[in-house]
Amino acid sequence: MAFVEKHPILAATLAIFTTTALLLAGNGMNPVWPVMWIAFIPVLLFASETTSWLLAAAAAALSIFLGSLTMLYYLHFVLRVPIMAWLIPFSIASLLFAAGVLLFRALLHRGSVFSAVIALPAFWSVVEYLASFIPANGTAGSLAYTQERFLPILQVASLTGPWGITFLLLLFPTALATGLYLRRRNLPHATLVLGSTLTVLAAAILFGAIRLAAPTSPQSIKVGLLDTDTVIFAKQPSEMQHLIQTYAEQAENLAHQGATVIVMPEKTGLLLSSNTQTIDPILQSVTNRTGATLVLGVLHVVPQLHSTKRASTLRIGPSPPTTSSTCSRRLNPT
């Protein structure tokens, strides 16, 4: 592309800001799912056309990093976690994505077209899979979550988990960027690449549509969501007890309306092990009276034996001996 060759810095800047803008709209806490299918096209097209691998890597890394600013707002200003909880993981993610883009570019320039098309989707799917073993992370941050409202594609998770959705989500822009790169160099190859990719996507959507249309059991579970619409974090034991008492009353109201599972806010407050004997009975009494299961997110601090931090889902019972953990406390009827 002549424009990229003549104005590489300007082209890189345009690619960065376009992809960033699309990521800010298509990713985050309220993603616009169709946008994610085209979000990576500008930076991938730039990487395929530029002669500078350094510019290609910088464009890819900056696009991902700047596109994560919505998560900075959520993590730091909403959940009140340290800014490093955003800076470190997304810096690493940016560098890894840049490596995947460079792999795509190198294979494409060598003429390994189909290897180039699947390289980035496969690489990033593996990155997400390995990241799922990090206790505090799990699958959080997977691109697959942007497709929660695209129900046919969402059915792919029944076969592959979220990583299959991530693969398809990156396969489309990679194939399109490859096709655009090849259109002046080898039109039959470009047509074959795009045709093959569209066939795979069509098959995935068809599978999802058939699965959604299949008859299902009439059994259903009514779930209640306790949404406060405000950021509340109780730091003192007295504040925590008052907050839990308020949540318990609202949870009981939801249970009387038929909810059998009630999900309360995440990061509700600071819960010391010494205070569980006061807090747990408040919620346990609700489950005993209503038969509902309650799920609550707390920052649980327990005696220091190991300097680790992990996310977990717990039933009421003895707490594991860790320093601090972000937990979901789950209470079932006794």
**Percent of the chain surpassing pLDDT 70:** 86
- Whether the CB-CB separation of 263 and 225 falls below 8 Å is answered with yes
Q: For 142-159, what is the mean pLDDT?
A: 94
pLDDT mean over 174-194: 92
Q: Name the average pLDDT for the chain.
A: 84
Q: Comparing C-alpha atoms, which of 116, 107, 1 is closest to residue 49? A: 1
Q: How many CA atoms lie within 13 A of 201 on its CB side?
A: 19
Chain centroid offset of residue 63 CA: 17
Quick check: 327 pLDDT over 60?
A: no
pLDDT of residue 320: 36
pLDDT computed for residue 319 by the predictor: 34
The verdict on pTM exceeding 0.75 is yes
Residue scoring higher pLDDT (27 or 237): 27
Average pLDDT over residues 180-202: 92
Average pLDDT (147-151) is: 94
* Top mean-pLDDT range of 31-35, 182-186, 245-249, 290-294: 31-35
pLDDT for res 333: 53
pLDDT at 62 over 70: yes
CA distance 290 to 251: 10
What are the tokens at 137? Answer: 């992370």
| pLDDT average, residue stretch 182-204 | 92
Q: Alpha-carbon distance 211 to 26, whole Å?
A: 26
Q: Where are the alpha helices (DSSP H) in 139-272?
A: 151-154, 157-160, 162-182, 187-213, 237-256
- Cα distance between residue 1 and residue 48, in whole Å: 10
